[in-house]
């Protein structure tokens, strides 16, 4: 079998793949910048000092990843300059709606840390060995840093779930708020751009495969912790494929 | 770390630029991956210990400023690289020794 073609710059990509890659990187970078802010807000509110420090460290890592991803996006002239200027605050970010506001409780923090940060990491892992070289070069470092975020989310899930029936019910409620939109975030099964990215080896999985991998990791963790949430039909009618948001009814 | 011919003095110059978090040079920290020189133009491949390094801008400026003090350098271009990711294994023995003096075991 011949080696897949490797890409060094946006000009080498066809229109579908190029648009899909812009959309994906933009959504990851924007999600990480907003996630970083939500983490930072808990730096001096976490229930124990160590977790406050961890929240600050995770925030810094997310913002660092954002910087590296915006740097990649600057090579695509179709991305407006204000998007890749991480110093500038924008009104809109291509980030999930559950990150629009301050995460109201530590349970929400833990669930977002476990589930949404975990989902972002699943996508990033699928770009390991990507044929888009400038992206591939950043992946291992990001994954190395994300390992600690996953440990933090997992350990706190167990810790909270072990406290009481009430705590598990609270976790279940928070998971129901975050999981459906997170699963949509991977994109619809028939997204042509995402399928083009898989075909070219830029991402090693389709949206459906990513969802399956992610659920294969997450659901046993939740189950072992006694947090039981069924995955029902996803809210595709409210899903915007460009922003990757599920717009909540007013 | 391979020192290319004609860049020895540039590596020495960067031995004077410290990581802002520990008084250890960027070279001994193993953060400088490569230095290339073509006439007065110098290109440096540099990494950081973390992608969210808060001192990134300071370090870039320190590297640029120090290299421009060399009489044969007119232009400095810095590539931030993340591959291979930095690990403590990249530190020099001198860097490890200094770390130990600061109470950090590497």
Cis peptide before B84 (omega within 30 of 0): yes
| Span A42-64, average pLDDT | 95
Could you tell me if B39 lies within 8 Å of chain A, comparing CB atoms?
A: no
Q: Which CATH superfamily is domain A14-242 in?
A: Ferritin, core subunit, four-helix bundle (1.20.1260.10)
A32 vs A39: CA distance, rounded Å: 10
Could you tell me if A37 lies within 8 Å of chain B, comparing CB atoms?
A: no
Could you tell me if B78 lies within 8 Å of chain A, comparing CB atoms?
A: no
- Strand-pair category, B41-46 with B75-80: parallel
Burial of A103 (0-12, 13-18, 19+ CB in 10 A): buried
Q: What is the ipTM of this complex?
A: 0.81
Q: Predicted confidence band at A10 (pLDDT cuts at 50, 70, 90)?
A: very high
Question: pLDDT at position A233, please?
Answer: 95
**Tell me, what DSSP letter sits at residue B81?**
-
Among A210, A187, A182, A191, residue whose Cα is nearest residue A96: A182
Q: What is the pLDDT of residues A151-199, one digit of tens each?
A: 999 999 999 999 999 999 999 999 999 999 999 999 999 999 999 999 9
B contact residues 13-32, partner A, Cβ 8 Å cutoff: none
A132-141 burial: b if 16+ Cβ within 10 Å, else e: beebbbbbbb
Q: What is the pLDDT of residues A110-161, one digit of tens each?
A: 999 999 999 999 999 999 999 999 999 999 999 999 999 999 999 999 999 9
Question: pLDDT at position A127, please?
Answer: 98
| Span A78-102, average pLDDT | 89
Q: What is the pLDDT of residues B22-71, one digit of tens each?
A: 889 999 999 999 999 999 999 999 999 999 988 899 999 999 999 999 99
Among A211, A22, A240, residue whose Cα is nearest residue A119: A211
Question: pLDDT at position A38, please?
Answer: 98
Segment holding B36, helix H or strand E: strand B32-38
Burial of A182 (0-12, 13-18, 19+ CB in 10 A): buried
Question: pLDDT at position B22, please?
Answer: 81
Evaluate if residue A81 carries a pLDDT over 90.
no
| Span A33-41, average pLDDT | 97
Could you tell me if A144 lies within 8 Å of chain B, comparing CB atoms?
A: yes
The angle, 0 to 180 degrees and rounded to 10, between the axes of the packed helices A207-224 and A133-161 is 20
| Span B79-97, average pLDDT | 94
A184 vs A226: CA distance, rounded Å: 24
Q: What is the pLDDT of residues A197-242, one digit of tens each?
A: 999 999 999 999 999 999 999 999 999 999 999 999 999 999 999 9
Closest residue in B to A142 (Cα) is B51
Least confident of A11-15, A25-29, A84-88, A103-107: A84-88
Q: Give the minimum alpha-carbon distance from A140 to chain B in angstroms, rounded to a whole number.
A: 7
Q: Which residues pair with B44 in a beta bridge?
A: B35, B78
Evaluate if residue A87 carries a pLDDT over 80.
no
- Alpha-carbon distance values, A21 to A66, A123, A177, B29 (Å): 15, 12, 28, 35
Q: Predicted confidence band at A1 (pLDDT cuts at 50, 70, 90)?
A: low
Contact assignment for A140 to B54 by CB distance below 8 Å:
no
Among A1, A7, A16, A4, residue whose Cα is nearest residue A137: A7
Domains along chain B with CATH numbers = 8-101 (3.30.300.130)
B67 vs B48: CA distance, rounded Å: 18
| Span A61-75, average pLDDT | 94
Q: Predicted confidence band at A250 (pLDDT cuts at 50, 70, 90)?
A: low
Q: What is the pLDDT of residues B7-35, one digit of tens each?
A: 999 999 999 999 888 889 999 999 999 99
Rounded percentage of chain B residues whose pLDDT exceeds 90:
80
Q: Give the minimum alpha-carbon distance from A63 to chain B in angstroms, rounded to a whole number.
A: 6
Residue scoring higher pLDDT (B102 or B79): B79
Could you tell me if A142 lies within 8 Å of chain B, comparing CB atoms?
A: yes
Question: pLDDT at position A88, please?
Answer: 79
């Amino acid at each position: 079998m011949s080696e897949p073609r490797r890409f060094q710059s946006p000009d080498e990509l066809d229109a579908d793949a190029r648009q899909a890659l812009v959309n994906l990187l933009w959504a990851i970078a924007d999600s990480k910048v907003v996630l970083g802010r939500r983490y930072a807000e808990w730096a001096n509110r976490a229930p124990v000092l160590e977790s406050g420090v961890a929240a600050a460290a995770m925030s810094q890592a997310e913002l660092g990843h954002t910087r590296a991803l915006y740097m990649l996006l600057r090579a695509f002239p179709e991305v407006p300059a204000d998007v890749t200027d991480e110093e500038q605050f924008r009104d809109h970010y291509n980030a999930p709606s559950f990150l629009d506001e301050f995460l109201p409780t530590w349970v929400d923090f833990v669930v977002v840390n476990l589930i949404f940060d975990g989902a972002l990491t699943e996508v990033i892992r699928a770009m390991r060995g990507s044929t888009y070289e400038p992206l591939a070069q950043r992946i291992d470092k990001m994954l190395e840093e994300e390992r600690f975020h996953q440990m933090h989310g997992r350990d706190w899930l167990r810790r909270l779930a072990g406290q009481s029936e009430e705590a598990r019910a609270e976790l279940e409620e928070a998971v129901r708020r975050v999981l459906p939109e997170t699963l949509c975030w991977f994109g619809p099964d028939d997204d042509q751009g995402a399928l083009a990215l898989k075909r070219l080896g830029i991402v090693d999985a389709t949206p459906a495969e990513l969802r399956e991998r992610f659920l294969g990791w997450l659901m046993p963790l939740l189950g072992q912790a006694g947090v039981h949430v069924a995955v029902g039909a996803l809210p595709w009618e409210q899903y915007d494929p460009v922003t990757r948001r599920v717009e909540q009814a007013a | 770390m391979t020192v290319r011919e004609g860049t020895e003095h540039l590596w020495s110059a960067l031995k004077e630029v410290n990581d802002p978090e520990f008084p250890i040079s960027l070279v001994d920290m193993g953060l400088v991956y490569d230095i290339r020189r073509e006439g007065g133009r110098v290109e440096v491949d540099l990494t950081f210990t973390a992608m969210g390094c808060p001192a990134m801008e300071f370090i870039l400026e320190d590297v640029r400023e120090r290299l421009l003090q060399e009489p044969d350098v007119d232009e400095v271009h810095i590539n931030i690289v993340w591959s291979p990711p930095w690990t403590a294994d990249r530190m020099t023995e001198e860097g490890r020794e200094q770390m130990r003096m600061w109470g950090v075991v590497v």
